[in-house]
Amino acid sequence: MWGGAEEKDALAAIEKSLDLGITTIDTAPVYGFGRSEEIVGKALKSVPRDSYQLLTKCGMNWETEEGEYFFDTNDESGRPIRMHKYAGKNRVIKECEDSLHRLRTDYIDLFQLHWPDATTPISETMEAFEKLREQGKIRAAGVCNYSAPQMKEALQSIELASNQVRYSMVSREIEEDVVPTAKDAGMSILPYSPMERGFLTGKFHPASRFNAGDTRAGSRWMESENMHKLQKLIEKLQEIANSKGATIAQIVLAWTMGRPQVATVLVGARNPDQIQENAGALSLQLSEADLNDIERTIQQLALV
């Protein structure tokens, strides 16, 4: 969905992350149909376990117990694959065991439900999480893409550490009720796609071309009117970045890290160079004037 990645670059990126003090690594079984977890496990096999945190997920399945594939992409052999959301108790426990094996570890720091499953009671999924926590196989439980009502229902069964949700300067729906619910419950927000899948980097333009299977090709941000608005925002971000000797990506990440309830920002990287750039945001401080300039620009352009 993101145009593919090279394993050697991924391994080097993880090594570089640890060198620069980035210790939270988020993955999922469905990323590469197990391949991402295997790469993470391979990269960390000789690293002391208490020097990093592993975050992975469950509830997104790509084959039945009989091995029948069913969904809306293709594997390397060209067979059609569809994703299936299912988080029944026994399935969640099995997925955890499988992830532990692929990650080459005996516990997961944060085990998350990848997407809400309308076919399974939330309490049943949370019961599985509680059992895994009691067994020491997970340290904490979290959810992803949960609405505020779903968070509240889950919290009746278990203490949740976090909700991983899409969040960026121009995708801010969670500020209305998800963030306040997290604050009331003492939960953290883990934003994904803070760079709006790359569209906040300034690297894309109306004539940009993407690799086969890259879903960004159909993004609303590729529409000329939206692309024009984004470009105006990017010009403002570049102005702030220039004043600090930083990059646009670092400004975006620093903005995201400063938002309410945000515990850690999840940002993708294909290679060590991108990791180096991301890490530069850790020491970057945005002033109140910077933040006001960004907010004013976003509102004037009606980007949210």
Helix (H) / strand (E) containing 12: helix 7-19
Asked about 31 being catalytic, the answer comes back as yes
Dihedral angle computed from the Cα positions of residues 197, 230, 168 and 9, in that order, rounded to the nearest 10 degrees: 30
CA distance 163 to 57: 12
Backbone angles phi, psi at 26, to 5 degrees: -105, 130
CA 80 to chain centre: 25
Dist. CA 204–CA 11, nearest whole Å: 26
- Taking Cα atoms as reference points, which of 259, 257, 253 lies closest to residue 274? 253
Cβ pair 145, 87 in contact under 8 A: no
The rounded distance, in Å, linking the Cα atoms of 156 and 149 is: 11
Return the axis-axis angle of helices 248-257 and 272-279, rounded to nearest 10°. 60
Nearest to 160 by CA among 137, 122, 126, 135: 126
Question: String of b and e for 62-80 (b: at least 16 CB within 10 Å)?
Answer: beeeeeeeeeeeeeeeeee
Q: Tell me which residues are annotated as active site.
A: 31
